[in-house]
Amino acid sequence: MERCIIHLDMDAFYASIEQRDHPELRGQPVVVGGSSRRAVVAAASYEARKFGIHSAMPMMRARRLCPDLVVADVHMEHYREVSRQIRGILERHTELIEPLALDEFFLDVTEQTGAIPEAGRLAQAMKAEIQMETGLTGSAGVGPNKFVAKVASDLRKPDGLVVVPPAEGADFLAPLPVSRVWGVGAVTERKLEGLGIRTIGDLAGADPQGLERLFGKLGPRIHQLANGVDDRPVQVSRQPKSVSHETTFEEDTTDLDLLRERLGRLAQRVSERLRRRGLQGRTVVLKLTYHNFQHATRHATLEQPTDDDRAIAAEAARLLDRTEAAVRPVRLVGVGLTGLTSTVSAGAPQLGLFGPESGGPADLPSG
């Protein structure tokens, strides 16, 4: 029986929901993010992407690239609800679902299909059901493992489907740029190019021992991926490593009272998410971004795990005193908790889960 993995990535998820809900926005360049001077693009429609606009771009730059840009506010709870609806559709076909974000899922359909061609037909059926019931499109990749399926789903957007049989995995990957390999960031890519390694095929043919000498444990790993080898299972339930929230100020500030007030609000949001997931954390993390975009991070480990917003806020405020926030204007402040443990296993009641968001704290789309 062939291992059959599907990677489903919804197309421009947040922006597509706004265009669906507001028909007058269809066909227009739409971004989701908000209208403040410090806002960034959370998602861009494909019409907006034609202007070079992409997620995480400052909104002011996006407006310069497209003067007719339509900016929609973020409606996160609504997006989560749509994500839960999509998850429900997927669960009709398999219980082996690993959510990566609100708009992105890995599915293991080996038991349901047993062969890649049949898995491709199932992926097409899932896409059709999602479009019929939500009015949204997604792109899917089907392959013998996570890496091949993920790369395949990225190649034909929007509303694409790429199916890669096991015997064709290495040939499928070979002509693609080495930057598509997980773990190859900008620095590693430059080093590989210096060795004449520009495509995944080049990387697949490189000496794995030489790669290990240059990149440590990463070297053999990226060599395996380049050869289409990826044995990682679809993880049905993943506990997040951290829960955090952050906010960007309209104007840079050195007002410690204002910063402490925002820390309290952020701690409340962190606490709410922890309780919904049945989690507590032991290490409080304070994140600051100063006016010149330099970052500062402070950590403090508590005696006992907590989900109490007052305890989180109090510790974050103490950490604030260990920064230069009083003299260096602050652009962004964030609060998080790491060292997470389950309150359920400790005997405390579980108050509920986020559903498809349970894979981690990130909400930004990738499609």
Positions marked active-site: 104
What is the total residue count of the chain?
Answer: 367
Count CB atoms within 10 A of the CB of residue 89: 15
CB neighbour list of residue 306: distance below 8 Å, 6 or more residues apart? 280, 281, 282, 312, 337
**Which residue type, as a one-letter code, is found at position 200?**
I
Strand partners, 140: 8, 161
**Rounded Cα distance, 187 and 158, in Å:** 29
Helix or strand (DSSP H, E) at 272: helix 256-277
Measured between alpha carbons, how far is 140 from 154 in angstroms, rounded to an integer? 8
- How far is it, in rounded angstroms, from Cα 314 to Cα 328? 21
Q: How far is Cα 27 from Cα 25, in angstroms, rounded to an integer?
A: 6
- Kindly state the helix (H) or strand (E) to which residue 107 belongs, with its residue range: strand 104-108
The Cα 213–Cα 262 span in angstroms is 46
Give the amino acid at 33.
G
Paired with 251 in beta bridges are: none
Q: Burial of 129 by CB count in 10 Å (0-12 exposed, 13-18 middle, 19+ buried)?
A: middle
